[in-house]
Amino acid sequence: MDDKGQSATAEGLFYRLIVRLHKYSLGRANYNDSVHWQRGLTLYDDYNGRALLEHVGNDMRITVRAPYPERFLAMLTGEVKYLVESFWEGSRCEVMVPCIEPCGKRAPGIGLFEVSKLIDSKRCQRPEYPCPVCNEWQDIDCLLRNAPAARPVAAEALFAEYTEVKRELASVRHLLVQYGDQTLIRFDRLDARTRKILSKVDDAYAGMMAALTDEAKEGPRLSSLVPVDRSNFNPKEWANAKFRLTLW
């Protein structure tokens, strides 16, 4: 919004976001895998999920898909708010969240709540806030998490998945320890001749790297130093004489 409270577009915002959020780009390793356009951007942050940023009218919509989207969503929202209020003087960024079930219009998502007002109501010990579209009172905690109450995460399912992952990690750790011990045994059984060869190879590699990184490798190898006045040169007074240094 501008200083008059009217909705306005921050022109060029996505160009700044593409640069600022490059570490989350799908093409951070290979640019050809990047997915962004003039009014949209797709990001990925490993287990924190995948995000879609898009311009809808004069608004910026951020959608995150992840088992726990709160962290990635909060970070992206903070970045957008910072850019808008830092580079577009007189503008402010209102952070909104969509309505959820139950919806009086049977169309959750059409109503938008200002996060600042939800937090103020929560601070005043009011756990619910009315939808601006259908006037249905909705739970503030669920709105701030942007997760419908009808879709709870079962603790039993999470515990079962955790147990399965823990079991798999234990088996992987056992294999790593086993193969590591076998590798160490093989190195301990190397005979003296093999160890000598490995030592020579290592020394040759170190010498080659030292030669390649030597700052003087491109410098001259031959030089000459002669007195400027050869006819009156006195070796006993060489410290006060002038010499000419030639780098061949």
Identify the band that residue 147 occupies on the pLDDT scale cut at 50, 70 and 90: very low
Q: Write down the residue that tokens 């390793």 correspond to.
A: 29
Is residue 85 within 8 A of residue 97, CB to CB? The reply is no
Six token digits for residue 56: 């809808």
Q: How far is CA 29 from CA 16, 46, 65, in A?
A: 19, 14, 22
Q: Domain spans of the chain?
A: 1-94, 101-152, 155-213, 219-248
**Chain centroid to CA 7: how far?**
31
Q: At residue 163, does pLDDT exceed 80? A: no
Count other Cβ atoms within 10 Å, centred on residue 98. Answer: 16
- Give residue-wise pLDDT tens across range 41-64: 889 888 788 888 888 877 788 888
If residue 9 lies in a helix (H) or strand (E), which one and from where to where?
none
In angstroms, the CA 178 to CA 183 distance is: 9
Six token digits for residue 180: 């590591």
Q: What is the DSSP letter of 25?
A: B
- Give residue-wise pLDDT tens across range 10-46: 667 778 888 888 888 888 888 788 888 888 888 988 8
pTM of structure: 0.46
Q: What is the mean pLDDT of the chain?
A: 75
In angstroms, the CA 99 to CA 130 distance is: 10
Which of the following CATH numbers is that of domain 1-94: 3.40.50.10860, 3.30.310.200, 1.20.1740.10, 3.40.50.300? 3.30.310.200
Beta strands in the chain (DSSP E): 36-37, 40-44, 50-56, 59-65, 96-98, 112-114, 128-130, 137-139, 223-227, 243-247
If residue 228 lies in a helix (H) or strand (E), which one and from where to where?
none
Is residue 119 within 8 A of residue 72, CB to CB? The reply is no
